[in-house]
Amino acid sequence: MVNLGREGKLRLSSSHTTEYATSLELDFFSPIRWTDNQFFLLDQTLLPQEETWIHCTDLEIVCDAIKRLAVRGAPAIGVAAAYGLAVAVGNSGPESFDAAYQTLMATRPTAVNLRWALDLGRDLEQEMPAKDLHAGLIAWAQKLHVEDAETNRRIGEHGKELFAQADRVLTHCNAGALATAGFGTAVGVVQAAFEAGRLGSVWVDETRPLLQGARLTTWELKRLGIPHQLVTDSSVGALMSRSLVDRCVVGSDRIAANGDVANKIGTYTAAVMAHRHGVPFYVAAPLSTIDRSTPTGNDIPIEERASAEVSMIAGKDMTPSGTEALNIAFDVTPAELVTAIITEQGVLRAPYEESIAAAFARAAA
């Protein structure tokens, strides 16, 4: 279903089509919808209090949703950007493609799936007749949407094999269905392990500043009926020193060629604590999150976001007036701390250059 495109990057099959569904029917939960030829995103900033869908009628709405994290998570951003290209070309014609590509690319720097999806869209744009481009982009975005969920299902199948009975697993941020087109990466593994009877409960750390753990992962686990308990981010050490964590599993925004992992701020700290306490630390991610053109974690651009995301909570300023916060959105976990990377092409282990190359080769076969 996938192969290697120009520059050896992972891409979808180039058998482009203009046939798409007016309404894409899915048998799984997705934060992304295509209904009556309209594009909708679940506004994750309002969860868990409100389930509001954003009607993405133009490119600006899509970009705004990505920037303010109404849609977030590397795979979900990729699929949202694909639909965003379709919406832009539908509104403004094929000649608007390049501007839409650039505008979407500039929304967020760290998650490589955004660039991956946009580059696939550009390949398509260069191959298809202009008259077919709008339909082609919709069909392609739908394919990306369905295939991402299928990819995550396969990540879950591979990942569950790493779990033992009644495991207590810690996850950071949200790498669930909400962060993807469906199923999720880390939460997909948790779900598969739970369904296989290999999971006892989940420690959800709240993930300041935007509380993706407290707001989103809890919401998903509740829907899935998986036992869980919330903790502050700084509880990781205390939990591990009490031997209350058997494994960690997190998602990723970008994995470098050497296996270094960029993910939500705090991931590195959790990985160091896991290493100290002998707790396996897994990263669950599709191959589309692995950026072989980025040699190491030092080369991954790390987004810094607004100070007010830290100093204000629930609309209230918690700090004295004038307090400035440094809001680093991601950190880099060196490959040496990663026990395994769980992909749709199996469980990869160090040395990662080799296991990653082999996984890409399997995908292309």
> Interhelix angle for 186-195 vs 133-160, to 10°?
50
The one segment of 7-15, 112-120, 183-191, 231-239 that binds a copy of itself by CB under 8 A = 231-239
Extract long-range pairs of 96-104: CB within 8 Å, 24+ residues apart. 97/122, 97/125, 97/133, 100/59, 103/59, 103/63, 104/59, 104/62, 104/63, 104/66
Asked if residue 125 binds a copy of itself (CB under 8 A), the reply is no
What is the rounded CA–CA span in Å between residue 170 and residue 235? 11
The CA distance from 132 to 250, in Å, is: 39
Please name the residue that has the structure tokens 């392990």. Answer: 193
Q: Choose the catalytic residue: 253, 260, 291, 331.
A: 253
Q: Is residue 317 annotated as a catalytic residue, yes or no? A: no
Instruction: Find the binding residues for a copy of itself in span 232-291 (CB under 8 A).
Output: 232-239, 241, 265-266, 268-269, 272-273, 276
184 with 150: CB under 8 angstroms?
no
Residues 33-72 that bind a copy of itself (CB under 8 A): 48
Stretch that binds a copy of itself, among 53-61, 114-122, 326-334, 352-360 (CB under 8 A): 326-334
How buried is residue 323: exposed, middle or buried, by Cβ count under 10 Å (0-12/13-18/19+)?
Answer: exposed
Residue 141's Cα: distance from chain center in Å? 16
Q: Is 319 in the site for a copy of itself (CB under 8 A)?
A: yes
When the beta carbons of 123 and 167 are compared against a copy of itself, the nearer one is 167
Spatial CA neighbour of 233 closest among 203, 261, 277, 196: 203
Q: Which stretch binds a copy of itself (CB under 8 A): 36-44, 56-64, 214-222, 251-259?
A: 214-222
Which of 142, 331, 338, 345 touches a copy of itself by CB under 8 A? 331
Of 1-9, 102-110, 126-134, 212-220: span binding a copy of itself (CB under 8 A): 212-220
**201 neighbors 227 (Cβ within 8 angstroms):** yes
Q: Does 208 bind a copy of itself (CB under 8 A)?
A: yes
Binding region for a copy of itself (CB under 8 A): 48, 206-209, 211, 214-215, 218-219, 222, 229-239, 241, 265-266, 268-269, 272-273, 276, 302, 307, 310-311, 313-316, 318-320, 322-328, 331-332
Catalytically active residues, by annotation: 253
